[in-house]
Amino acid sequence: MSKQLLLGDEAIAQAALDAGLSGVYAYPGTPSTEITEYIQMAPITTEQNIHNRWCTNEKTAMEAALGMSFVGKRALVCMKHVGMNVAADCFVNSAITGVKGGLIVIAADDPSMHSSQNEQDSRFYGDFSLIPMYEPSNQQEAYDMVYSGFEFSEKVGEPILMRMVTRLAHSRSGVERKEQKPQNSISFSEDPRQFILLPGNARKRYKVLLARQDEFIKASEESPYNKYIDGPNKKLGIVACGIGYNYLMENYPEGCEYPVLKIGQYPLPKKQLLQLVESCDEILVLEDGQPFVEKHLKGYLGMGIKVKGRLDGTLSQDGELNPDSVARAVGKENKSEFGVPSVVEMRPPALCEGCGHRDMYVTLTEVLKEEYPSHKVFSDIGCYTLGANAPFNAINSCVDMGASITMAKGAADGGLHPSVAVIGDSTFTHSGMTGLLDCVNENANVVIVISDNETTAMTGGQDSAGTGRIESICIGLGVDPAHIRVVVPLKKNHEEMRQIIREEIEYNGVSVIIPRRECIQTLARKKRSK
């Protein structure tokens, strides 16, 4: 088939469709969002009734995908790296249950924190779950891994974790497709207790998983994605993981002088690794993320060989790899060929002109600073997090999805008044509802602002699970309807908003204020499409 120019994310999506996908399950999060969006827009998705709706959060996505695997069908789960923390309960246990239909979990990591709270490396999740992992170095590999990965998942009876990074997810390359496979028919496990993790059964299944580790290592040793490339200079051996291999080869267009072990599948291929170690005086590990392989090598080989990388300062412990940092690590002259011109240097993001969050923050901050000098505002993950920056300087925390409500409750429990939480509609249904229930159960003295722009705006305007239901959800969780206040955040309603904020701060109990106005970008897109 002819090549297509695809983003790394799009290559994954197309591979899943070509491999007989029955459903994708995801919550939007950069840099993974485009995988699901590509599947949603593909004609075959409608033709073959492939599940493609956004989930409420990553945990529900992982569980639903496991349910699809339970009936023998192929499922894809997509999330950014911090989403793995939310999905982890089901994800780790799915290694014990195993799978029936092929199941691939995509974790899109974000080295350098382009749009994230941390740089965590999802390979650690695959490692302590004891399942095979993929890490592509380019878009074609991403496609091939997913296309063959479903079959591999069914063969080994385990979910497969595939780790992406931002640069690969959001860059384009030519990708050659393979033939279209049909969807699996419904089928069930021969073991009727496979998915029942009562302790007695879980212990048995865990022993089976442990017994299969040598099989997974052998699969890595035989994998086309792990390749030993010999070189004449044995002073240094290089382990290049995923996109790190590309950065290395950019410095050696004629071929690397050192032996290189290219890693694209885990667990680590022991045979090739020992070959490298036995041939070379010292080892350099190139990995875009945390020192996952480096830590393995330092303790796992037990051979006293010198291992260089992020831990010893050869490479920075934070941030992305790039061709320049790799050049310095191998002792080549750094010509800064890949430097970023000043004209395209990063600028801090800002709330859009006309955004409802702006009017909400202006009014909220005005009331709090004028009348309640001891206030603190706990915010959350979304566009409204930009309220931390000038000119608003409106928030005091941003930690994780849903933390605004529960941190506000904890602060109120500690005596803070007023204790205010700001959360978006999508984040509220993702992880805020349980925190609100805690507030209701203890009648916490908190004011919760659910800034509702009727979409998941930060990641591009995807559907929000709570659209049209926020008040009903709050009532269902036990909030007094008299203290659920809805307002349209516009300048003309400024005084009304001020008064509502005052009243709810003075109320001793749980208050919910819902400033509701459609995202200006979503509205503009709707108007253009008419």
Rounded CA separation 196/420 (Å): 42
Tell me which DSSP letter residue 431 carries: I
What local confidence, expressed as pLDDT, does residue 270 receive?
93
Half-sphere exposure of 403 (CA within 13 A, CB side): 14
Does residue 412 contact residue 445 with C-beta atoms inside 8 Å?
Answer: yes
Task: Tell me how far apart the terminal alpha carbons of the chain are, to the nearest angstrom.
Answer: 36
478 — pLDDT class (breaks 50, 70, 90):
very high
From the list 364, 325, 183, 159, the residue with the least C-alpha distance to 244 is 325
- Structural element, H or E, at residue 378: strand 376-378
Task: Describe the strand order of the beta sheet including 21-26 as a list of residue ranges.
Answer: 21-26, 74-80, 103-109, 160-165, 133-134, 265-266
Task: Note the Cα 13 to chain centre separation in Å.
Answer: 16
300 falls in which pLDDT band (50, 70, 90)?
A: low
Question: How far is C-alpha 32 from the geometric centre of its chain's CA atoms?
Answer: 6
Beta strand 21-26 with 74-80 is parallel
Pairing state between β 103-109 and 74-80: parallel
Domains of the chain: 3-211 (3.40.50.970), 227-337 (3.40.50.920), 356-526 (3.40.50.970)
Q: At what angle do helices 81-97 and 199-211 cross, to 10 degrees?
A: 100
Q: How do residues 487-511 score in pLDDT, each as one tens digit?
A: 999 999 999 999 999 999 999 999 9
Higher pLDDT, 342 or 84: 84
Model confidence at 308, pLDDT cuts 50, 70, 90, reads confident
- pLDDT recorded at residue 302: 54
Q: How far is CA 451 from CA 358, 361, 379, 411, 463, in A?
A: 10, 10, 11, 21, 15
Identify the CA nearest to 154 among candidates 64, 22, 26. 22
Taking all residues of the chain, what is their mean pLDDT, rounded to a whole number?
92
Q: Are 150 and 104 in contact (CB under 8 A)?
A: yes
In the predicted model, is pLDDT for residue 344 greater than 90?
A: no
Q: What is the spatial distance between Cα 322 and Cα 310, in angstroms, rounded to a whole number?
A: 13
pTM listed for this prediction = 0.86
pLDDT of residue 457: 78
pLDDT score of 338 = 58
Q: State how far the Cα of 151 lies from the Cα of 147, in Å rounded to an integer.
A: 8
Residue-wise pLDDT for 390-428, tens only, equals 899 999 999 989 999 999 999 999 999 999 999 999 999
pLDDT value of residue 301:
53
Q: Which residue, among 288, 230, 277, 228, has the nearest Cα to 255 in the 3D structure? A: 230
DSSP 289: S
For 460, left (φ over 0), alpha (ψ -120 to 50), or beta? Answer: left
Q: How does residue 205 score in pLDDT terms, banded at 50, 70 and 90?
A: very high
Q: Which tokens go with 85?
A: 């923390």
Per-residue model confidence (pLDDT) at position 455: 84
Q: Residue 240 and residue 296: Cα distance in Å, rounded?
A: 14
How many Cβ atoms are within 10 Å of 209's Cβ, its own excluded? 19
Residues whose CB is less than 8 angstroms from the CB of residue 95 and which lie 6 or more positions away in sequence, other chains included: 129, 130, 131, 158, 159, 209
For residue 3, what is the enclosing H or E element?
strand 3-7
pLDDT at 318: 78
- The percentage of residues in the chain with a pLDDT greater than 70, rounded to a whole number, is 96
Mean pLDDT score, 471-475: 97
State the average pLDDT over residues 149-158: 98
Banded pLDDT at 295 (limits 50, 70, 90): confident
Distance in angstroms (rounded) separating the CA atoms of residues 51 and 307 = 46
